[in-house]
Structure 1
Amino acid sequence: MTERLLVCGLGSGMDHSLAGLRSARRELVVVTGTPTDLARAAADLLLVCDPCDSTAVLAELSAAGVDRLDGVFSLGADNPPVISVLARRFGCPGLPLETALDCTLKDRRLAILRDAGLDLPRFATAESVEEALRAVAEVGLPAVIKPSDQTGSVGVIKVDSTEAVRERAAEALRLSPVGRIVVEEFLEGTEHTLAAFMVDGELHRFGFADREYGRKEEFAPYFFEGGDTLPSRLDAERIEEITDTVRRGARALRLDPAVINTDILRTRDGRVVLLEITCRLTGARIATEVMRLATGVDPLPNVVRLALGRPLELSELRPTRDGAAVQRFLPADGGVVEWVGNPRDVARRAGVHDVFWGIDLAPGTVVPPYRGGADVLAGVIAYADEPAEAEAIAERTLRALPLRFKEPAR
């Protein structure tokens, strides 16, 4: 019988991976709020609705006559609770809803990891501006304010003074559907992304990247992440230390069996701090393209096996390539577009995997000031034998983008 697989939610650029899921023995159903030509071409059935709304997804599936699913997962979309609801409704393998909520809601995740003895930033929660003021007094300055239930760096803001807390806390509270924020101690160090599978208590790492934060506070109070780099500058001992911390975090949150995405900070004095850990594939094309370019490892076949309740093929998680790959972004930070061309016109050069706009651009488009991680003007994925070479290719490519502003970006 043909297996029916549901991809519920596509992270930024993850529609590029849908074609790799097609099979003569498989019916591919895709749910997305932003249908693209790539999604339309790959899906046997494309449903358009909010993939973070389980009620809406179930209604669309029912209207389309879908009464059976064999597996369900997202491609980098941060909606584990919806995946859990769908898995239970259709009898598919998947984590319990409470487990998905534990790793998605920041306040719940932090409390569980703290109780498990992991190293975390000092933190407190708040449901009002007054509570936020007390939380900042408890945590100390500088601090980071985050909506508890948002993803993709939405509403993540640094505060350096008590005077700024009222405005910034009110902003974060407005962005939180449940009206709850987390106030965390601001820590400095190097940041990293670890991608893995957790099965039967064992963590199987298949990717480890350095996060690029050279311009992190250029748009303060908002943070800017410039991309990812492989291989890491950390040595094997430090990577294993971080891997052990992620393993402990996954066990504490009961993420088993699961595909794991994590963000880790290693402080200047050597502390390993788990900033985020959740049960989804690393998005923004990192696990599926950037890591794959450097290591040769394609995690998607094992993501499918996990969704179908089948054993992993661990041999497919062993690197077959020893190269370098980077993804680099340009921030969208104000201006009026005068002229825009096709970014692929600058992709025809050695070492360029892809070049893309982060937002829809046309003459006359008004680009607002940068307000967070989703405000990306353009990006490039590049590869080479060494990281410095890949970074240079990415920088040259971004400088050559076919784009001109009437009013230059700030």
Structure 2
Amino acid sequence: MLKKGNKMNQTAIMILGAGIMQLPAFEAAKKNNWYTIAADGNPEAPCRSRADQFLNIDLKDRVGLVEAAEELMTTRNIQGVFTCGTDFSASVAWIAEKLNLPGIPYQTALDCTDKYRMRMKFKEQNIPIPAFCELSAELDPHKETKHLLYPLVVKPVDNMGGRGVITVDTPENLEKALSEAIKFSRTNRAIVEEFMDGPEFSIDSLVVDGELVICGFADRHIYYPPCFIEMGHTLPSNIEKSEEEEIYRVFKNAVKALNITTGAAKGDIKLTSRGVMIGEIAARLSGGYMSGWTFPYASGVSLVEEGMRLSMGLKPVNLKATESNTSSERAFISIPGRIQDIHYLEEAHALDYVKDIFLISDKGDRVQFPLNNVMKCGNVIAVGPDRASAVNASAKAVSMIRISLESGDAETQEFLSMPLETQFPPSAYLRESWKELENLKAFKPDFSMQYKESPIPVPQKAQGLDFLSQKDWNCLSLEEALEEIIKTKNLTKTSEPLWTLYALHFWYAFIRGGIQGGLWYINQNNEVH
């Protein structure tokens, strides 16, 4: 019999991942006095210091994880293994199966991790999905996809966060997209499927005693084709009740088809012109701040904590909402370059309804326009009593944050020199609705030269209202950005068509790169010798 105070008495849980997305798990464990054993391949993982014990083990190393857990079982009362916001639910299931801990079978976890296996399960059970096929470097992509209708979406079979995911409109671009997707696959395989149109939604749920409990339903805001960049989500969704119920029905059937009988299930669902279709379902809680932040803020339910209980064979304590707020998460992004400084974070955080600002990139870091969901610069979360207050607060905060870039950077110059009509990465603003900017149509900028400062032509509101009101990727209107640049840089503005080389270069950089581009050009021009 164990003596009182023996460390075997304290409930222990193994948490895979010690990044920011796992922070709510460590906080829940501390609240419940659970001993935490964290595993992460990054020796400098942000939440390492929050763990009672840290294992520097790659989360793909299932054998190493099990060996470490087996050794710890002799001295620790490990009751479960858990992850959220990672794509390593298969590693969780492997450990649980080997150590006889609660969880889903390893083969089920593989079905939820490998997108091709998942699609095959859905096909067998008549779950609505797009037509698809599996590809590898050894197969002829054109032969294998001849039965599919363009546009197609190419993605690695075993990754998350939109890494390597791209839309292909013509056969000529298929091989390049396939090569890129395979780079992000741990098994050197990709899946190709027909494009699904329509809005997209995220669902977090728990399966308790075989019953599915929906715990979060959010609108996803996806932009910038051919990539799929999630610029935020809003929770709860504002779609029609009948549409929501149909999404729930299809999601429930999909979870059943994957044989997720206990634990978490996270879904990405699309409401297409052909009806509800499943994007994918993972046997874990969501990342992207939804399960750990926006849903708890909106509902009062600590979803990660309840998911951890399930992973230890315990019943959830509280899945009933005690709050009825709206949460709005928005990302902020940058054009390419090296960050010189980030301004107005405190001012943005001080806005009414803003709860959190998460900074991913910092001073000195290289940044670029995102190709996937892990390349953004940061995120804002706002919570309000209604949808408008939350959405407006998050957008306002994002529009206030300024990421200034170092002058003389070749990547910044290359981005700003690209044609204004470039599809991807897109320009911050459109020039067409102000006829004066026809001057830029055939203009070839040279940002390596210095030009004499001159007044900047600006449109009058009467002639360019639509032009002035358009917003960039960080929710900042052209009018607001233009006035801020003129004020902070003491520029002279004019209503006359004085199109000097200085003015042409300014407007080109500004239309292409927004306030970042305009400020970078002015600083660069002042420093060129």
TM-score if structure 2 supplies the norm length?
0.71
Per-residue displacement from partner, 1:280-299 (whole Å, max 9, x unpaired)?
01112201210111122211
The answer on whether the counterparts of 1:11 and 1:283 sit within 8 Å (CA) in structure 2 is no
Mind listing any 5+ residue stretches in structure 1 that lack a counterpart? Answer: none
Q: Deviations over 1:309-343 (max 9, x none)?
A: 12233xx2222111111111123441222223583
For 1:5, give the aligned amino acid.
Answer: I
Instruction: Report what 2:321 is aligned to.
Output: 319
Task: Give the drift of 1:403.
Answer: 2.4
Aligned to 1:300: 304
**CA deviation vs aligned residue, 1:255-314 (integer Å, no higher than 9, x gap):** 011211000000135x1101111110111220121011112221133212211112233x
Give 1 or 2: higher strand fraction.
1
Contact 2:22 2:47 in 1 (8 A): no
* Residue type of the alignment partner of 2:240: D
Question: Is 1:49 paired with 2:57?
Answer: yes
Residues 130-139 or 223-232, more deviating? 130-139
Q: Based on CA coordinates, which of the two structures has the bigger radius of gyration?
A: 2
SS in 2 for 1:284: coil
1:38 Cα offset (Å): 5.8
SS at match of 1:339: strand
Matched positions, count: 401
What SS does the aligned partner of 2:91 have? helix
Give the Cα–Cα distance (whole angstroms) in 2 for the partners of residues 345 and 40 of structure 1.
30
Match of 1:229 in 2: 234
Q: CA deviation at 1:243?
A: 1.0
SS at match of 2:26: helix
1:138 positional shift: 1.6
- How far residue 235 of structure 1 moved from its aligned partner, in angstroms, is 2.3
Query: Partners of 1:221 and 1:66 in 2: how far apart?
Result: 51
Work out whether 1:387 is the aligned partner of 2:387. yes
Paired with 2:297 and 2:33, the residues of 1 have a C-alpha distance of: 27
After superposition, the Cα gap between the structure-2 partners of 1:224 and 1:138, relative to the gap in structure 1 and judged at 3 Å, is same
Is 1:4 matched with 2:4? no
Preserved CA contact (<8 Å) 2:232 2:330: yes
Q: Is the 8 A contact 1:10 1:76 kept in 2?
A: no
Counterpart of 1:30 in structure 2 is 38
Q: Deviations over 1:344-367 (max 9, x none)?
A: 4531222111112223x224x332
3-state SS of 1:22 partner: helix
Moved more, 163-172 or 132-141: 132-141
Q: What is the CA deviation profile of residues 193-212 of structure 1, one whole-angstrom value per residue up to 9, with x for unaligned ones? A: 11111233321111111101
Is the 2:39–2:57 contact (alpha carbons within 8 Å) kept by the matching residues of 1?
yes
Query: 2:295 aligns to what?
Result: 291
2:463 is matched with none
**Where does residue 269 of structure 2 map in the other structure?**
264
Distance 1:241 1:67, change over 3 A: farther
Alpha-carbon deviation of 1:179?
A: 1.8
Q: How does 1:152-231 map to 2 (within 5 A)?
A: 152-213=161-222, 216=223, 218=224, 220-231=225-236
Which whole-Å CA distance do the structure 2 matches of 1:18 and 1:43 have between them?
7
Moved more, 173-182 or 12-21: 12-21
Runs of 4+ with >4 A deviation: 35-38, 59-68, 407-410
Q: Measured at CA, do residues 71 and 116 of structure 1 come closer, stay the same or move farther in structure 2, by a change above 3 Å?
A: same
Cα deviation code 1:32-90 (max 9, x no counterpart): 23466862442111222322321342355567786652111102211111001111232
In 2, Cα distance between the equivalents of 1:248 and 1:10?
A: 32
User: Letter of the aligned partner of 1:179 in structure 2?
Assistant: N
Report if the CA contact (8 A) 2:18-2:45 is conserved: no
2:144, 2:32 → 1: CA distance?
Answer: 55
Q: Does 1:128 align with 2:137?
A: yes
Q: Mean Cα displacement is larger for which, 190-199 or 336-345? A: 336-345
Residue range with higher mean Cα deviation, 193-202 or 251-260:
193-202
Per the alignment, residue 15 of structure 1 pairs with 23
Aligned partner of 1:102 in structure 2 is 111
Q: 2: distance between equivalents of 1:354 and 1:182?
A: 36
Cα 1:154–1:293, aligned 2, differ >3 Å: closer, same or farther?
A: same
User: 1:245 — aligned with what?
Assistant: 250
Between stretches 397-406 and 114-123, larger displacement belongs to 397-406
> Are the equivalent residues in 2 in contact too, given 1:129–1:169 (CA < 8 A)?
no
Tell me the residue number matched to 2:420.
none
- TM-score when normalising by structure 1: 0.91
Residue 278 of structure 2 aligns with which residue?
Answer: 274
Q: Would the aligned equivalents of 2:22 and 2:83 in 1 still touch at CA under 8 Å? A: no
Amino acid of the structure 2 residue aligned with 1:398: V
The letter of the residue matching 1:335 is G
- Asked whether the equivalents of residues 261 and 278 of structure 1 are also in contact (C-alpha less than 8 Å), the reply is yes
Q: Which has the higher contact order (CA 8 A, sep 6+)?
A: 1
Does the CA-based 8 Å contact 1:334-1:370 persist in structure 2? no
Aligned-pair distance for 1:16?
A: 4.5
Unpaired segments of 5 or more residues in structure 2?
1-8, 407-411, 413-512, 518-529
Q: What's the Cα RMSD here?
A: 2.3
